Amino acid sequence: MSSILGATFRREWQLAWRNLADAVNPVAFFLMVIALVPLGIGTDRQQLAAIAPGILWVAALLASLLSVDMLFRRDFDDGTLEQYLLLPGQLYGIIWLKVLVHWLFAGLPLVLVSPLLGLMLSLPADARPVLLLSLALGTVSLSLVGAIGASLTVSLRRGGLLIAVIVLPLYIPVLIFGASATAQAAGGIFPAGQLAMLGAFALLALGLAPLVVMAGLRIATEG
């Protein structure tokens, strides 16, 4: 089992490097949206700081949707997915590793650039570490929930919009608590409750999302 999971991790890592554009696109989208906000809203620092938590989180959420469609697409096209489904004992771990590599390439970069983008929107310095931490927890949930949508639409050639329809309602609690945590930190209050909820969402998604993805992949491939 460990050899199969190790080989899967190496394969996913190599594929991610070969298709680095899939990871660059969400970051580029994130950067462009935040760069355009001052042009549309104005350069008033107080106004930008007031809307920064919501804008940053909405942009990060939408950026995370850009790459999730490819999570299982290549495996479906080349027949690897069918081989994975023949390994029920390892499928849970394989899905977890695939989502982990996806987050490392598509989610973690969003987290790392967020303090800089917070600076661009005049987010208070005390709130930037909270923004980074909340996005780190939130993007884990977004990747795992996005994997559910990707599994259900893997057999569809143009499933990107359908993924958004499926997962956006599930993204809303993460968006609410993430933006609230950043806004509260900007007001000088440490958002312990919101961060705890984001952590709970991440843990719940880590345990349950792969199970739902397993069922979704079987439904999509059998259909």
Please report, as a single letter, which amino acid is at residue 205: A
Per-residue pLDDT tens digits for 9-45: 888 888 878 877 777 889 999 999 999 998 888 888 8
The C-alpha angle 101, 108, 199, rounded to 5 degrees, equals 95
Please report the pLDDT score of residue 219 as a whole number.
Answer: 84
Please tell me the distance from the alpha carbon of residue 11 to that of residue 138, in angstroms, as a whole number: 26
Query: How many other C-beta atoms are found inside a 10 Å radius of the C-beta of residue 89?
Result: 8
Among residues 55, 59, 61, which one has the least CA distance to residue 186? 55
Please tell me the distance from the alpha carbon of residue 31 to that of residue 34, in angstroms, as a whole number: 5
Helix segments in 71-120, DSSP class H = 73-78, 80-85, 88-102, 108-120
Give the pTM: 0.90
Per-residue pLDDT tens digits for 121-178: 999 999 999 999 999 999 999 999 999 999 988 887 766 678 888 899 999 999 999 9
Q: Is the pLDDT of residue 85 over 60?
A: yes
Q: What is the domain extent for residue 66?
A: 2-222
The residues, any chain, with a CB within 8 Å of residue 32's CB and separated by 6 or more, are none
Average per-residue pLDDT for the chain: 89
Q: How many domains does the chain have?
A: 1
